[in-house]
Amino acid sequence: MEELKVKMKEMKLEIETLKIELNKIEKLKIKRNYYQENKEDIKRKAQEYKKKNREVIQEQRKEEINCECGCLVTKQHLTRHLVTMKHTKRMNNVK
């Protein structure tokens, strides 16, 4: 009799574990379904996000800053400006 009780307990535990597993699978299915059903929407949102960010990055690049030589250059051109003759000459004059 005692053995049977133990077996019953084990079975119950197994069923519980199975239920949890099933629950996980269901949740995954729901997630997948959500993606499938909203694929276009999700893609569109991601593209919009990228586009917005690109605009912000471009705006930042357009921003003008004062180079240490005294020139006013855009951030976009700063790295290029740093190797120009104009910058080098001006820097020599400063020193």
Min. distance of Cβ 66 from Zn ion in angstroms? 9
Min. distance of Cβ 73 from Zn ion in angstroms? 7
| Helix segments in 63-84, DSSP class H | 75-81
Considering the rule CB under 5 A, would residue 71 count as an interface residue with Zn ion? yes
Binder among 6, 18, 48, 69 for Zn ion (CB under 5 A): 69
Q: How far apart are CA 36 and CA 77, in angstroms?
A: 44
Binder among 67, 74, 76, 77 for Zn ion (CB under 5 A): 67
Residue 89's alpha-carbon distances to 36, 66, 94, in angstroms, are 61, 16, 9
Min. distance of Cβ 78 from Zn ion in angstroms? 8
Considering the rule CB under 5 A, would residue 78 count as an interface residue with Zn ion? no
Size of the site for Zn ion (CB under 5 A): 4
Joined tokens for residue 49: 């996000």
Q: How far apart are CA 59 and CA 81, in angstroms?
A: 19
Residue holding tokens 């949740």? 27
Interacting residue ranges for Zn ion, rule: CB under 5 A = 67, 69, 71, 87
